[in-house]
Amino acid sequence: MWSILVATMIVASEVPAMPVIISSYSTLKSCRTELIDVSIKLDYKLIVSPMLGYTAQKKTEEKTTVAFCAKNIQSI
């Protein structure tokens, strides 16, 4: 299973928040397709990261929010 995770990094915080699983998909392709659709609908910037692959990212002065697909090892 693959899941879309959302991580938020707050500028003024020293302790990073844990990423949250938003939804799960049976294939990486379906996860990435949904990630692309969500990034378009929510006006997130779509980026290909060397570490995370396809990511949807939104930056403000207070925080950066990143959504990405990851293998959900809890479902194995």
Residue 76 pLDDT greater than 50, yes or no: no
- Structurally, the chain folds into a number of domains equal to 1
- Return all residues near 39 (Cβ < 8 A) that are at least 6 apart: 45, 46, 56, 67
Where does the pLDDT of residue 75 fall: very low under 50, low under 70, confident under 90, or very high at 90 and above?
Answer: low
Assess contact for 19 and 6: CB atoms under 8 A. Answer: yes
Torsion of CA 26, 27, 33, 37, to 10 degrees: 20
pLDDT in tens, 22-43: 999 999 999 999 999 999 999 9
Rounded to whole angstroms, the Cα distance separating 48 from 54 reads 5
Reported as half-sphere exposure (CB side, CA atoms, 13 A), residue 34 has a value of 18
Q: Which domain range does residue 65 map to?
A: 2-75
